[in-house]
Structure 1
Amino acid sequence: MRKQRDFDADLKALEDKARELKTRKVRQLGELVIAIGADTLTVEELAGALIVLAETKEAGKREALISRRISASGAFSTSARRFIISSVIGGSSNQVGVSNPTLPGNRR
C-alpha cells in the first residue's frame, strides 16, 4: 500500500521555502543598494528610478539605462549590471552569457 502524503507538511515546507527566498531577495537587494552607493538616495528617488526602469519596455532604452554611467557603476561589468537589473525587476537570471556576479566586498 502507498504511503499517504502529508499535504499540510508539504504546504508548510513550501511556505517556509517561499519565506526564505523572499528574505534572501530583500537582503540581496539591500546589499546591492549599498554596494552601488544608492543608499545615499532618498527612498523616493530610489523608488522613482526603479519605477522608470521597470516601466521601460523598449530594449534600446533599457540597454541605455543599464549601461549608463552612475556613481559606483564602474564596479560592475555590463553583464553584471544586466544580471542585477534583471534580478531586481523580476527577470530571469538564466540569460545566455550572464553568470551570477560577485559584488565588490563579497569576494570569497
Structure 2
Amino acid sequence: MMEKIMRRPRDFDAELKALNEKAAQLKTRKVKQFGELVIATGADTLSIEELTGALVTIAATNDPQKREAWATKGLAFFQGKTRTTRNQPKGNNQGSAKGPDSNTAA
C-alpha cells in the first residue's frame, strides 16, 4: 500500500525576508558601483548641480542617435579607449564586480 507523503509547508515569511535582503544587497552594490563609475570617469570633479543637470538631460533625451553616441562612448570607456581623466588599468570592465557576491550583473 502506498502512503501519502506530507510535504513541509513553505515558509513564505522566510522566503520573503531572504528576497528583501537580496534586494537590499543589490541596491547597495548598484549605488557603490555608480559611485565608482563617477570617480573613474572624472565626473567627481563636477559640482552636484552640473552632474545632476547632465543626468536629467540624458534621461529626458529620446533622440536615438544621441543615445547611441553616448552608448558608444560608454563602451569605449569600459574598453579602456578613452580613459584620459584617470590613470585606470585597461581591460574589459563591463560593469560587473569581481567578488564572492557578483553572481548577477547590476
- Report the CA distance between 1:57 and its aligned residue: 1.2
Mark the structure with the bigger radius of gyration.
2
Unaligned runs of 5+ in 2: 1-5, 80-91, 99-106
User: Among 32, 41, 44, which residue is 1:39 paired with?
Assistant: 44
> Which position in structure 2 is the counterpart of 1:94?
none
- Report the CA distance between 1:63 and its aligned residue: 2.3
Instruction: Give TM-score, length-normalised by structure 1.
Output: 0.62
- Report the CA distance between 1:67 and its aligned residue: 4.8
- Report the CA distance between 1:10 and its aligned residue: 0.5
Q: CA RMSD in A?
A: 2.6
Distance in 2 between the 1:5 and 1:18 partners?
Answer: 20
Query: Aligned pair count?
Result: 79
Report the AA paired with residue 77 of structure 1. Answer: A
> Which position in structure 2 is the counterpart of 1:20?
25
> Which position in structure 1 is the counterpart of 2:59?
54
Question: If each structure's helix is expressed as a fraction of its own residues, which one has the higher value?
Answer: 1
Report the AA paired with residue 93 of structure 2. Answer: T
Percent of aligned pairs sharing the same letter: 54
